[in-house]
A and B are shown apart, each in its own frame.
Chain A
Amino acid sequence: MTAIVCKDLCKTFQQGDEIITGLENVSITIEEGDFVCLSGPSGSGKTTLLNAMGGLDTPDSGQILIGNTRLDQLGKGALADMRLNKIGFVFQSYNLIPVLTARENVEFVMQVRGVPAKERASRSFKILKEVGLQGMENRRPAQLSGGQQQRVAVARAIVGHPALVLADEPTANLDTLSSSQLMELFVELNHHHNITFVIATHDVRVMRYAKRLIKMQDGKIISDDTQEQINTRDK
Chain B
Amino acid sequence: MKASLNIAPNMSLHIGLRMAWRNLWRHKRRTWLTVGAMIFSNLLLVFLISLQFGSYRMMIDNTLKSYTGHMQVQHRGYNDNPKIRTSIEGIIPLASKIRKQLGTDMVAARGVAFAMTSSKQRSYGLQIIGIEPQFEANVSTLPGLIIKGKYFTDSNAEEIIIGSVLARNLRVVIGDELTLLGSGRDGSFAAGVVTVAGIFESGIIDIDRSMAQLPLAYFQSLFSMGDQGHNIVINASDLTQVTALKKQVSHIISDRKELTVLDWNQLQPGLKQAIQADMTSAWFMYAVLIILVAFSVLNTQLMSVLERTREFGTMMALGLKPSRLSTLVFTETFLMSGLGLVLGTALGTLLAYYLSIVGFSYPGMEEMAVRFNLPDRMYPSLSLLSIFLGPGVVFIFSLLASLYPSLRLLFLQPVSAMRAV
Contacts and interface: CB of A to CB of B under 8 A. Distances in A.
Interface of A: 51, 54, 56-57, 69, 76-78, 80-85, 89, 91, 95, 97-100, 104, 107-109, 111-117, 156
A89 B11 contact: no
B311 A117 contact: no
Majority secondary structure, B binding face = helix
B318 A114 contact: no
A82 B19 contact: no
B3 A83 contact: no
For the complex of A and B, list the 5 residue pairs with the smallest distance between their C-beta atoms, beginning with the closest. A84-B319, A114-B8, A114-B7, A99-B22, A95-B314
B415 A99 contact: no
Contacts of A80: 4, 316, 319-322
Contacts of B19: 97, 99-100
B318 A108 contact: yes
Contacts of A99: 19, 22-23, 26
How big is chain B's contact interface, by range? 20 to 34
Contacts of A69: 1
24 contacts: A54-B317, A56-B414, A56-B418, A76-B322, A80-B319, A80-B322, A81-B2, A83-B318, A85-B1, A85-B2, A85-B319, A91-B418, A95-B310, A95-B418, A97-B311, A100-B19, A104-B15, A109-B319, A111-B11, A112-B12, A112-B324, A113-B2, A113-B4, A113-B7
A150 to B, nearest CB: 14
B393 interface: no
Given A81-B319, A114-B7, 4 more contacts: A57-B415, A80-B320, A109-B318, A114-B2
B315 interface: yes
Interface string B382-421: 0000000000000000000000000000000111001000
Contacts of B311: 95, 97-98
Contacts of B12: 111-112, 114
A56 B315 contact: no
B14 interface: yes
Contacts of A78: 1
Contact of A107 (B3, B15, B413): B15
A109 B5 CA distance: 11
B2 to A, nearest CB: 6
A111 B4 contact: no
A117 B11 contact: yes
Contact of A83 (B7, B14, B319): B319
B415 A56 contact: yes
A51 B415 contact: yes
Q: Quick one: which of A51, A85, A109, A112 has the most chain B CB within 10 A?
A: A112
Contacts of A100: 15, 18-19, 22
Contacts of B4: 80-81, 84-85, 112-114
B31 to A, nearest CB: 13
A220 B100 CA distance: 104
Nearest to B9: A114
Contacts of B414: 56-57
A89 B317 contact: yes
A54 B42 CA distance: 48
Contacts of A57: 413-415
Interface in B1-60: 1-5, 7-8, 11-12, 14-15, 18-19, 22-23, 26
Contact of B318 (A77, A116, A117, A156): A156
B314 A114 contact: no
A84 B22 contact: no
A176 to B, nearest CB: 26
B26 A98 contact: yes
A84 B319 CA distance: 4
Contacts of A97: 19, 311, 314-315
B317 to A, nearest CB: 5
A78 B3 CA distance: 8
A91 B414 CA distance: 13
Contacts of B1: 69, 78, 81-82, 85
A111 B315 CA distance: 13
A82 B2 CA distance: 9
Contacts of A114: 2, 4, 7-8, 11-12
Contacts of B5: 112
Nearest to B20: A99
A116 B11 contact: yes
A95 B317 CA distance: 10
Interface centre among A54, A99, A109 (most CB of B within 10 A): A99
A169 B152 CA distance: 102
Interface in B69-121: none
Nearest to A111: B15
A97 B317 CA distance: 12
